[in-house]
């Protein structure tokens, strides 16, 4: 069952989501050649706590960090390490969650480290815009398939492949709630969206094939062919006329 949130509950989610957005905004300036992924994680944890929230990922199903840092061919769930350093030309996906008053917020973005290739830039641009396309379909009365289809169509039209093994999700009292939100689907199908539903929509696209392999750490998912991957995500509330992006702040990308 897809839970409908009250206005007060959505405000709690907004607080959590704005913490996530603010910390991601700060992290963007920290992603530079030479920084370790563990340093990014430590900064994220301290910042989340300083803003009065609790890290959502730390300890979740055994995940050992606050932040997911996925570089280049890594799609999602890259574990921060003191031995992993960002290099010139990398693209770095940052995924972060936080909890306020018992409610969750979740968002992600991909950042360029220095000068990146034209292909990497196009991948980032298309992934970010595919999220915009999906959000434009969110409103009461739409079908979830409309949202999923929007990502797929925009990605394929622009030469990118869609990761199918990982999806967006409902969010609220738990990090992952119903429904599952794949980045592909048929318009006019799936659950009917209603005002008060809260969703984490997160396109994950690859420059090459989108087949996935999970590394021996049990978490880090990479493209099987080693092609670059990008990831963007927002937490949103469905409204009668569209969607309220809870994880947006005026300066966040």
Residues whose CB falls within 8 Å of the CB of residue 13, separated by 6 or more in sequence, listed in order: 5, 100, 103, 104, 105, 171, 172, 198, 235, 237, 246
Q: Is residue 152 part of a domain?
A: yes
pLDDT in tens, 46-80: 999 999 999 999 999 999 999 999 999 999 999 99
Number of domains in the chain: 1
Residue 44 belongs to domain spanning: 7-245
For residues 48 and 66, the answer to whether their CB atoms sit within 8 Å is yes
Which residue is listed with tokens 């169509």? 153
**Full pLDDT tens readout for the chain, 253 residues:** 999 999 999 999 999 999 999 999 999 999 999 999 999 999 999 999 999 999 999 999 999 999 999 999 999 999 999 999 999 999 999 999 999 999 999 999 999 999 999 999 999 999 999 999 999 999 999 999 999 999 999 999 999 999 999 999 999 999 999 999 999 999 999 999 999 999 999 999 999 999 999 999 999 999 999 999 999 999 999 999 999 999 997 543 4
**Starting at the edge strand that comes first in sequence, how are the strands of the sheet with 74-76 ordered?**
74-76, 221-223, 212-214
CB atoms within 10 A of CB 227: 20
Computed on alpha carbons and rounded to an integer, the radius of gyration of the chain in Å comes to 17
Domain-embedded: residue 205: yes
Cis peptide before 179 (omega within 30 of 0): yes
**Closest alpha carbon to 200 in 183, 224, 214:** 183
What CATH number does residue 81 fall under?
3.90.230.10
The answer to whether residue 251 is domain-embedded is: no
Q: Provide the whole-model pTM.
A: 0.96
The Cα–Cα gap between 151 and 148 comes to 6
- 57 touches 76 (CB < 8 A): no
For residue 51, being part of any structural domain is answered with yes
């Amino acid at each position: 069952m897809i839970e409908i949130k009250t206005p007060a509950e959505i405000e709690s989610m907004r607080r959590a989501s704005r913490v996530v957005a603010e910390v991601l905004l700060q992290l963007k300036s920290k992603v530079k050649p030479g920084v370790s992924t563990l340093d990014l994680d430590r900064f994220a944890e301290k910042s989340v706590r300083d803003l009065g929230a609790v890290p959502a990922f730390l300890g979740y199903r055994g995940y050992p960090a606050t932040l997911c840092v996925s570089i280049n061919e890594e799609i999602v769930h890259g574990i921060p390490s003191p031995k992993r350093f960002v290099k010139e030309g990398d693209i770095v996906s940052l995924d972060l969650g936080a909890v306020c008053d018992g409610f969750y917020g979740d968002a992600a973005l991909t950042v360029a480290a220095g000068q990146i290739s034209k292909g990497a830039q196009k991948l980032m641009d298309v992934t970010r815009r595919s999220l915009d396309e999906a959000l434009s379909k969110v409103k009461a009365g739409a079908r979830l398939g409309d949202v999923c289809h929007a990502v797929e169509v925009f990605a394929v039209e622009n030469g990118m492949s869609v990761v199918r093994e990982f999806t967006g999700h409902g969010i609220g009292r738990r990090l992952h709630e119903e429904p599952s939100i794949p980045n592909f689907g048929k318009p006019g199908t799936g659950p009917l969206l209603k005002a008060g539903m809260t969703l984490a929509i997160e396109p994950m696209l690859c420059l090459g094939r989108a087949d996935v392999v999970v590394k021996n750490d049990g978490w880090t998912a990479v493209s099987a062919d080693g092609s670059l991957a990008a990831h963007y995500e927002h937490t949103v509330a469905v409204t009668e006329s569209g969607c309220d992006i809870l994880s947006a702040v005026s300066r966040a990308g």
